[in-house]
């Protein structure tokens, strides 16, 4: 009985850690979530290509999905503008850098297993029937780093415009 209780406690702790390890994307709309997940997939594939010296697979991915990836990048830019206002470009750059760094760190932790473990992503993504499948595929891979901030802690403020009163000329 005691062993069962310990096992259940361990499973509960593991589930809590896994839930905590996921990025907070609660503030995102479903299309924004899809855009972030596709961006994470692209980042993962870029890190794989660089770390595993496999540029040909990455180039084939970019070529096959280029219109969708360009649109995805625009969607991320629009999301950043909505969430961060004038800081959008700086936050977009931070987002892209943090994602690549997190993927690279993960690759370092996996060591020699990284290329073998994640190399099948190229095969799977190239087998998708269309670009419209990218978001669903990416969502199933859970590639968004838990450390990535996707929900700002402060709300973007619209720029304050000074209003001037029309001067009335008195005769």
pLDDT digits (tens, 9 = 90+) for 91-105: 999 999 998 888 888
**Mean pLDDT for the chain?**
79
Per-domain residue ranges for the chain?
Answer: 29-141
CA torsion 56-57-62-64 (nearest 10°) is 110
Interatomic CA distance for residues 78 and 15, integer angstroms: 34
Q: Which residue has the higher pLDDT, 48 or 161?
A: 48
Interatomic CA distance for residues 30 and 10, integer angstroms: 33
Whether pTM > 0.95 for this model: the answer is no
What is the pLDDT, as a whole number, of residue 111?
A: 75
Contact 122, 52 (CB under 8 A): no
Interatomic CA distance for residues 126 and 107, integer angstroms: 21
Q: Which residue has the higher pLDDT, 38 or 104?
A: 38
Q: Does the pLDDT at position 48 exceed 60?
A: yes
Mean pLDDT of 139-144: 90
CA torsion 52-57-59-60 (nearest 10°) is -170
């Amino acid at each position: 009985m005691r062993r069962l209780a310990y096992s259940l406690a361990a499973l509960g702790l593991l589930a809590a850690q896994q839930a905590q390890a996921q990025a907070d994307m609660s503030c995102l709309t479903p299309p924004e979530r899809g855009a972030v997940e596709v961006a994470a997939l692209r980042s993962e594939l870029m890190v794989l290509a660089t770390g595993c010296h496999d540029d040909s697979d990455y180039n084939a991915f970019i070529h096959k999905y280029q219109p969708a990836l360009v649109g995805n990048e625009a969607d991320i830019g629009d999301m950043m503008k909505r969430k961060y206002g004038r800081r959008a470009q700086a936050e977009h750059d931070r987002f892209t850098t943090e994602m690549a760094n997190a993927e690279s760190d993960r690759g370092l932790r996996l060591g020699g297993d990284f290329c073998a473990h994640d190399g099948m992503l190229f095969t799977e993504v190239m087998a998708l029937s269309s670009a419209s499948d990218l978001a669903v595929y990416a969502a199933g891979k859970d590639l968004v780093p838990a450390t990535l901030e996707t929900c700002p802690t402060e709300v973007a403020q619209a720029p304050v415009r000074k209003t001037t009163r029309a001067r009335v000329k008195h005769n």
